[in-house]
Structure 1
């Protein structure tokens, strides 16, 4: 028996060893799908190689397999998909990689063979097939401009050019075929953007549109000025512009200087997605590696962006040049994502241990990296800002309902810039319905909105560290380089109702954000908002060792936020509309101006042991009952002009518990990306004197009034711009209480007359003393109310 087993083992051993050895398949743009897939006889397509992988897996499911792509551009007729048929089990791997660092491009487009002939006014035309679907056109590898009004100007933001008359009847009637034109407009509060397509225009020049659903705050309307129209033949007048006539199959193009039409390479995008890695929670795709590949040329997808992400300001389309769903232990490394119409990477629903590392992502129409779970995993989900699940119907258990969301994923060492080119509610990295995501050592800049965004508190546990985020919020407003919302189960759009909920059901506060999120060792700069903006409801954050270069740190309504050992250059702490018993802490920080509180009567758990720039700023803080052990004085930064804000020996910062942290570890460190990455402009330190520069505040009928001014007050009141008179506070005996006026209300009009200054307000109020009451237009809870005010 023993001899028989020994002989059997000797026979089987070579077979087992061969099974584990691994296979390598080769692909080349100049190959042949009827070939053997060897180095000398490569396949022509990745899809053929994957078909061969599936055959190998039937007999050898554990075998490591590599698909190596030779240099060149692979124009895809359909998206590549990797499923369980091709992927290995947990004990094997599937590698798809460029061969020996050769330049490999997977293109969602096609190369066009065009015979150009003159049309008129420097425009050329060429015949194509009819009714093709493409909206990106490339010449010698560079994207060209779809014919638009106003003309593209790289120096102008937003939209690189905008105009108020894009939908004027006169303009629309001048177009022979306005049908199919795209309209892009900013949200009225600059909280994102909207996109439309013109279905038709009547004889009076009135357009009939489809779209306008790309944001989750649709009740505010559109910005009157910031918009443009594109895909209109009559607007083709500037070098680099193009237009495709679908009905007749003709493309028109006005070349830029230096383009030789007879020699240039022309390409157009035809696919939304290039590569999908797709399994399920019960049967996940495992152990797939993608390395060294460039992804290019996908369609714009803004007209499909309409799924609301809970009660954040976002809507999304679950698609990207790379889509990963139902995967475990998948890595995407050292790739490039460029010239894309929509999202670059989308990690969708159930995913565990996915790594996105060392990639260069730029020139994308929407978000660089999305990680988004399923709303089916959320207990009692609500969608849109004003909607709320009644307490009587609410699931009050803590945490997620199902595992259908990304968790334990790592987004690290990526260089991200020039994204959100069409969709302005976008980010370098966006998280929604996720848990325990690491976002570290990324360099993110030149973006229209946040660099890093967290849509909701579900379910926390993230580690946001060592990122370099700047040149953010370039085309929008009321936001930060880092932004979060926390409109979770406890949150309600009416503040009084929400106060009652948290008082009666305190366990709901952390029912969704039940794991703390750490935000540390980042360098942030935002010149059009806050460096770090924890907006509506954001809770359970630990924030430390951050260098904030301009916009300061904001905590709006929320609970359990701890901020310590941060440096707020040329700015300060912005506490907005806090709850009673918020348990917030702000300690051991260096601030460079006085605090900027908005509607604060409860100052949290601990606001103390901070360093202020001067005695006046410190005394103002102490008058609020905070900072009894804080100090004031020069922090003695080491070399601020060079970006080193470490404090020198002898600094008072040490006395308040501050500890230096590294100033040279922000952003990407991988050499190929670090040499390409920008770094933020380091601001000159502003000397703060003792002068009180606050706007005038008046006492009126037992209330304190002032002109609404500044981003902090705009954000705290939910306004979209500076307008009206802010009710800063109301005394307990004020007659205004009985008629329904509340602190933080904004008086927009009296008797339908605008009141944008104290003098205007007092003048309108006093001009007609014969009436016993006046109608006030009030802004509250982000909507207008009419209140009758008794004299």
Structure 2
């Protein structure tokens, strides 16, 4: 651990040099005709503030620059993209703003009461969004639960049934263009509906084909946590539900008890990304800090078109095609990652400190993710990145995702792609993974010399913290399980180890986890990660496992944990899982 402390001290020294400084002032009530050089003449927009920063860096690239954001809501018309051009040559750029909120939303006003307690408001025709936020809370889709999914017969083209109690499905107005959500053991799948016939739904391809492929899929779930038909106006019946009619430019919402739509603050998430920090491997973005700034109101629209072919923890089949050959393993190396509202890749010495991260329609913060999950198209390559002292709630996907899942993430051809020295500490996570429930508060895949410490995780439907990926298939020598499945017909059976090593999950508090799925743990690991510590964590108030060393978990030191949930304290599963050291753990339920 001495190496990590020294690294953090070097990190801090790099960011807080004692050099000359310049200040830029921004206020949502300011004007972009101002120069922002004083608090009495602030710039209004974030875009103009970025331009002012770049102009200052052209004058002097050796001065610290501080952007002071006054309290208020800053509605972004496009993502803030920070590259090496937004980085000082030998100093730092800080965006400081306690009380400032960067929003990717469209504020919705002028609500009018209609029949059955449903309100409506006008928005620009063509507005696309899957997320409405009312008074800081995410609304549900207009939806109705299917009483028993076993009444369905699954075909290559869709769903059929004979039980007359389900006839409401095909007779629902607007059912063509709606979707079905299936929550299973460790997946949460969405499939769009193409059309309806008598006691039959024809599902949109290729989402339907791909959602009935692999493991824990629609037709053969390992566990059943419910099926909903959703996203049609005719299904809007309960308080807290909404429907967006994009073609008509109208959004509908039924208030919860006590909500006053005359005073409610409502936003449709319209941007998918708020901030993208990233340059290139030759010229990375660097020495950038956000302190006390909050982020909210994003969406993720791809699901409406191609569904969500979930493979857990934000990995999904993203290509809208039928795969040939029809071996599920042929696509495993090429899954995509759910994008995050804040994206950091090809970057070093980046800090996000304090602030709130709420009402975000996909992931929260993505660090060193694959290129498909970064706005610039350049992924991985994140080092000395710190996420600290933040509050995360109402995040629809993973709150924080560190690392990628494709081949370049675990066996990079260029060492500059390696994700290393990432620190996720002292954050609070409450009621997260609320729309894509098989995601987690903190997911760390292929990284090294990184630490997840002293975070408080409260109320999440799946695992608490996940470390590792690949189910052992990408480790040196491969996995006998994946030899049998045929994976190595489609990717190398590597002879060298992945980059994962020397990481730590230390001193985290995890409670009320795993209420919406099975096959999970407070502390979940996959694949080999030498000299990695899982230590001094406290987990309770769940029926899930305490530690869960799943396929290929190897060379971990699991020590000093207090595991008080009712599930088995230490679950072990899969080929090549072993060589793990357990010492001084205190637990409630033995194996």
Query: TM over 0.5: same fold?
Result: yes
What are the within-5 Å matches in structure 2 for residues 39-188 of structure 1? Answer: 39-89=39-89, 91-98=90-97, 101=98, 103-116=99-112, 118-150=113-145, 164=149, 170-187=167-184
In the alignment, structure 1 residue 481 sits paired with structure 2 residue 526: no
CA distance in structure 2 between the partners assigned to 1:172 and 1:485 by the alignment:
40
Residues 112-511 of structure 1: matches in 2 within 5 Å?
Answer: 112-116=108-112, 118-150=113-145, 164=149, 170-187=167-184, 190-202=185-197, 205-210=200-205, 211=207, 217-218=214-215, 220-222=217-219, 223=221, 226-300=226-300, 303=303, 316-348=336-368, 349-373=380-404, 375-377=406-408, 402-456=415-469, 458=498, 459-486=500-527
For the 8 Å contact 2:522–2:545, the answer to whether it is kept is yes
Distance 1:548 1:20, change over 3 A: closer
Find the aligned partners of 1:112 and 1:28 in 2 and give their Cα distance: 22
Partner of 1:635: none
Q: Using the alignment, how far apart are the partners of 2:233 and 2:410 within structure 1?
A: 49
1:232–1:285 CA distance, 2 compared to 1 (3 A):
same
Q: Per the alignment, in what secondary structure is the counterpart of residue 54 of structure 2?
A: helix
Offset at 1:32?
A: 0.9
Q: CA 1:526 to 1:122, structure 2 compared with 1: closer, same or farther past 3 Å?
A: closer
For the Cα contact (< 8 Å) 1:193–1:215, is it kept in 2?
Answer: no
Q: Structure 2 CA distance, aligned partners of 1:220 and 1:113?
A: 40
Contact 1:359 1:414 in 2 (8 A): yes
1:302–1:422 Cα contact (<8 Å) kept: no
Query: Against the structure 1 CA distance between its residues 427 and 142, is the aligned structure 2 distance closer, same or farther, given a 3 Å change threshold?
Result: closer
Check the 8 A contact 1:181/1:197 in 2, yes or no. yes
Give secondary structure in 2 for the equivalent of 1:537: coil
Change (3 A) 1:286 1:463: same
| Structure 1 position 379, deviation (Å) | 6.6
Q: CA deviation at 1:555?
A: 3.0
When the two structures are superposed, what TM-score results if normalisation uses the length of structure 1?
0.59
Q: Kindly tell me the number of residue pairs found equivalent between the two proteins.
A: 493
User: CA separation of 1:126/1:331 partners in 2, compared to 1, >3 Å: closer, same or farther?
Assistant: closer
CA displacement at 1:375 relative to structure 2: 2.9
Gaps of at least 5 residues in structure 1 are 1-18, 151-160, 381-398, 487-512, 573-595, 597-791
- Contact 1:318/1:346 (<8 A) preserved: no
Instruction: Provide the secondary structure at the position in 1 that maps to 2:501.
Output: coil
8 A Cα contact 1:215 1:315, kept in partner: no
Given that 2:511 and 2:539 are in contact with CA atoms closer than 8 Å, whether structure 1 keeps it comes out as yes
* Structure 2 length-normalised TM: 0.77
Provide the C-alpha distance between the structure 1 equivalents of 2:213 and 2:447, rounded to a whole number of angstroms. 19
Deviation at 1:219, TM superposition (A): 6.5
- Over 3 Å counting, the alpha-carbon distance change for 1:86 and 1:376 in structure 2 is same
Task: From the superposition, tell whether residues 313 and 121 of structure 1 become closer, same or farther in structure 2 (CA, over 3 Å).
Answer: farther
Q: Is this contact kept in 1: 2:539–2:562, CA < 8 A?
A: yes
Residue 696 of structure 1 aligns with which residue? none
Question: How much has 1:540 moved relative to structure 2?
Answer: 0.8
Tell me which structure has the larger Cα radius of gyration. Answer: 1
SS of aligned partner of 1:446: strand
For residues 333 and 186 of structure 2, the distance between their equivalents in structure 1, rounded to whole angstroms, comes to 8
8 A contact 2:270–2:299 mirrored in 1: yes
Give the deviation of 1:338 after TM superposition: 0.7
Q: Secondary structure in 1 aligned to 2:281?
A: coil
1:77 positional shift: 1.0
Q: Does 1:564 align with 2:591?
A: no
When residues 409 and 261 of structure 1 are mapped into structure 2, their CA distance, relative to the original with a 3 A threshold, is closer
Q: How far 1:44 sits from its partner (Å)?
A: 0.8
* Contact 1:162–1:228 (CA under 8 A) maintained in structure 2: no
Give 1:553's match in structure 2, choosing from 570, 573, 586. Answer: 570
Deviations 1:215-252 (A, max 9, x none): 99447444466111221111112223222222222222
Offset of residue 313 of structure 1: 12
Contact 1:425 1:449 in 2 (8 A): yes
Q: CA deviation at 1:308?
A: 5.3
Which range moved further: 170-179 or 198-207? 198-207
Offset at residue 373 of structure 1 (A):
3.0
Q: Which has the higher contact order (CA 8 A, sep 6+)?
A: 2
Rounded to whole Å, the distance in 2 between the matches of 1:197 and 1:331 is 39
Contact kept in structure 2, 1:215 and 1:314, CA below 8 Å: no
RMSD of equivalent CA atoms: 2.8
Shift of 1:172: 2.8
In 1, distance between residues paired with 2:334 and 2:550?
Answer: 14
| Structure 1 residues 455 and 353: CA distance shift in structure 2, 3 A | same
Q: Quick one: distance in 1 between partners of 2:212 and 2:63?
A: 46
Going from structure 1 to structure 2, the CA distance change for 1:31 and 1:403 (only over 3 Å counts) comes to same
Runs of 4 or more, structure 1, over 6 Å off, are: 309-314
Counterpart of 2:181 in 1: which secondary structure? strand
Cα gap change, 1:243 to 1:437, in 2 (>3 Å)? same
Alpha-carbon distance in 1 for matches of 2:453, 2:274: 26
Label 1:378 to 1:122 Cα distance change in 2 as closer, same or farther (>3 A): closer
Alignment of 1:539-688 (within 5 A): 539-550=554-565, 551-556=568-573, 557=575, 558-569=577-588, 571-572=589-590, 596=591
Distance in 1 of aligned mates of 2:44 and 2:429: 31
In structure 2, runs of 5+ residues without a counterpart are 1-17, 153-158, 310-314, 318-328, 369-379, 473-497
8 Å CA contact retained: 2:389, 2:428: yes
1:522 to 537, 540, 563: 537
How many angstroms apart in 2 are the aligned matches of 1:448 and 1:400?
36
Kept in 2: contact 1:374–1:404 (CA 8 A): no
